[in-house]
């Protein structure tokens, strides 16, 4: 009961704040482009599936890793811009 009241309050506040943001939609056709890419990728997958999957995984992992690293660098750069007590 106690936790219910507390969490209900926090969730309500968060709902209010997040609700002010706009909804993200796929207007650029990103999803459709991935589907089309999937049709083309299915061609080499027919006769070299391991190579196809390996390349896709490596590229996806690399993009994810570098994006995460860049995001970390960017956030840390922003944090360092805040003045600290001296």
Partner 1 sequence: MYKLLLFIAAVLIAPQISFGAVVYDVGYGGSSINFVAGTITNATPYSGSPITFPLSSSWVTVTSPIDTLRIHRLSGASCSDLLGGGSLASNAAGTGMVLSGHYIDSVATVSDGGTGDYCDFHFHSSPFTGGNVAHLYLNNKTVTLEGAVSNGYVNSPSNYTVSSGAPAFQLCDSGTCGTFTTPSDGIVTPNEPTPNSVYLYNPVPFNGTYNNGIDNFYNLVQVQATSTALTLPLTFQYFLATSTGSSLTYSITDYNLPVEGMYGYQIRLMDTINSVQTPWVYGGSFGLATTTTATIDEYVTPVATTCSTFDFFCHLKKFGIWALFPSEGLINSYTSLLETIQSKPPIGYFTIVKNSITGLNASSTPEVEIVIPTQLKTIFFDPIDVALGSILWAAFAFLFYKRLKHITI
Q: Does 15 bind partner 1 (CB under 8 A)?
A: yes
User: In the bound complex, what is the minimum distance in angstroms from residue 47's beta carbon to partner 1?
Assistant: 5
Residue with tokens 């994810």: 64
Residue with tokens 């207007």: 27
In the complex with partner 1, which residue's Cβ is closer, 23 or 82? Answer: 23
For residues 53 and 32, what is the distance between their CA atoms, to the nearest angstrom? 20
User: In the bound complex, what is the minimum distance in angstroms from residue 60's beta carbon to partner 1?
Assistant: 8
Q: Does 80 bind partner 1 (CB under 8 A)?
A: no
For residues 68 and 62, what is the distance between their CA atoms, to the nearest angstrom? 10
Task: Count how many residues are written for the chain.
Answer: 86
User: In the bound complex, what is the minimum distance in angstroms from residue 42's beta carbon to partner 1?
Assistant: 4
């Amino acid at each position: 009961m106690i936790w219910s009241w507390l969490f209900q309050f926090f969730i309500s506040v968060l709902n209010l704040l997040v609700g002010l943001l706009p909804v993200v939609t796929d207007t650029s056709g990103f999803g459709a482009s991935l589907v089309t890419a999937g049709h083309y990728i299915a061609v080499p997958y027919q006769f070299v599936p391991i190579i196809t999957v390996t390349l896709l995984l490596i590229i996806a992992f690399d993009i994810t890793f570098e994006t995460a690293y860049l995001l970390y660098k960017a956030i840390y750069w922003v944090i360092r811009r805040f003045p600290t007590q001296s």
